[in-house]
């Protein structure tokens, strides 16, 4: 992109052209421009990273509650560690299907180009709902509710909560507050 003038005033250029221009003015000015550009890019990436991390931390904290309910109510003592892992994965997929509509394996198959799992690509609203679903599912497990009933109930709850969160400006406020803290 070359330098051009926009009707509202101001001159815009590709960052490389701007850096070259800054070096032409003075080495000190170039250093100032480069450092400020790096700071802005870091701030931008930190905001996204912090928002994502807040959601992931919430769901990881609640994951402990969820796995404790699975361990205490669904995992027979005589299973091997590999067999126990299948029980935990199956229960994680209960939540995945309820919220995202697919299992982890189905998501990986459809997203071979992506690194991580579907939860890494979830919105803050989805991660908040996931944290709630983990608590509710733990309660359902301890009450002996069947898996098929739990999936159905959790899916209804996920749709209701996600819809409410997307309409609610409080989540936007949370995002703005996190951005201001940076």
Confidence at residue 36, expressed as pLDDT on a 0 to 100 scale = 79
Is residue 124 situated within a structural domain? yes
pLDDT given at position 102: 95
Q: Which of 4-8, 51-55, 137-141 has the highest mean pLDDT?
A: 137-141
Helix (H, G, I), strand (E, B) or coil at 125: helix
Question: Running DSSP on this structure, what letter comes out for residue 83?
Answer: H
Lowest mean pLDDT among 31-35, 55-59, 107-111, 115-119: 55-59
Give the SS3 label for residue 112. coil
What is the C-alpha separation between 23 and 59, in angstroms, rounded? 47
Residue with tokens 């229960």: 91
Q: How many domains does the chain have?
A: 1
Residues of the chain above pLDDT 70, percent: 75
CA gyration radius, the chain = 24
Q: Is the pLDDT of residue 3 over 50?
A: no
Supply the pLDDT for residue 48: 54
pLDDT at 15 over 90: no
Residues 63, 106: contact at Cβ < 8 Å?
no
Residue 131: exposed, middle, or buried by beta-carbon count in 10 A (0-12, 13-18, 19+)?
A: buried
Backbone torsions φ then ψ of 88, nearest 5 degrees: -65, -45
Does the pLDDT of residue 33 top 50, yes or no?
A: yes
- Cα angle 73, 104, 151; round to 5: 50
Q: Cβ atoms within 10 A of the Cβ of 42, count? A: 12
For residues 155-166, average pLDDT: 92
C-alpha to C-alpha distance for 153 and 161, rounded to whole angstroms? 12
**Which band of pLDDT confidence, cut at 50, 70 and 90, is reported for residue 117?**
confident
In a domain, residue 133? The reply is yes
Q: Is residue 57 included in any domain, yes or no?
A: yes
140 lies in which domain range? 46-181
* 156 belongs to a structural domain: yes
Considering the domain boundaries, does residue 91 fall inside one? yes
Q: What are the tokens at 171?
A: 């989540």
More confident residue, 122 or 176: 122
């Amino acid at each position: 992109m070359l330098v051009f003038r926009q009707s509202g005033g101001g001159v815009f250029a590709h960052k490389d052209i701007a850096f070259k221009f800054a070096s032409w003015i003075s080495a000190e000015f170039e250093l100032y421009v480069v450092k400020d550009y790096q700071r802005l890019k870091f701030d931008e990436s930190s905001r996204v990273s912090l928002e994502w991390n807040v959601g992931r931390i919430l769901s990881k904290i609640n994951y402990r509650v969820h796995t404790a309910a699975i361990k205490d109510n669904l995992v027979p003592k005589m299973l091997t560690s590999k067999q126990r892992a299948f029980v935990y994965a199956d229960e994680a997929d209960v939540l995945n299907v309820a919220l995202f509509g697919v299992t982890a394996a189905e998501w990986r198959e459809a997203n071979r180009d992506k690194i991580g799992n579907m939860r890494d690509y979830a919105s803050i609203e989805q991660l908040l709902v996931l944290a709630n679903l983990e608590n509710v599912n733990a309660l359902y497990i301890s009450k002996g509710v069947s898996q098929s009933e739990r999936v159905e109930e959790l899916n209804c709850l996920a749709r209701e909560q996600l819809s409410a969160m997307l309409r609610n400006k409080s989540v936007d406020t949370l995002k703005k507050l996190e951005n201001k803290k940076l």
